[in-house]
Amino acid sequence: ESLSLAKFAQKIGADAILCVSPYYNRPTQQGLFEHYKTIAQSVEIPVMLYDVPSRTGVSIEVPTALKLFREVPNIKAIKEAS
């Protein structure tokens, strides 16, 4: 669903998307990396990561965020709500 919503947001002219971590399965850091990378690579608009561990049960660790920023050009920001 995240992929289709990201593509829809781009299609209707959104300037960027805010993307939250999966909250049901509590992914590993590698799982978070793959989640955000897959969504970001499906669109051309900027992507902001949303780290809200009190709601998702998992936090994006600094090394994971840095790897995403280095490897996925349209990941541009992170909203930190921890």
Active site residues: 50, 79
Between vectors from CA 1 to CA 52 and to CA 46, what angle results, nearest 5°?
A: 60
CA-to-CA dists, residue 38 to 14, 50, 54, 81, angstroms: 18, 15, 24, 22
For 16, the token pair is 């960027």
Residue 48 sits at φ, ψ, to 5 deg, of: -110, 125
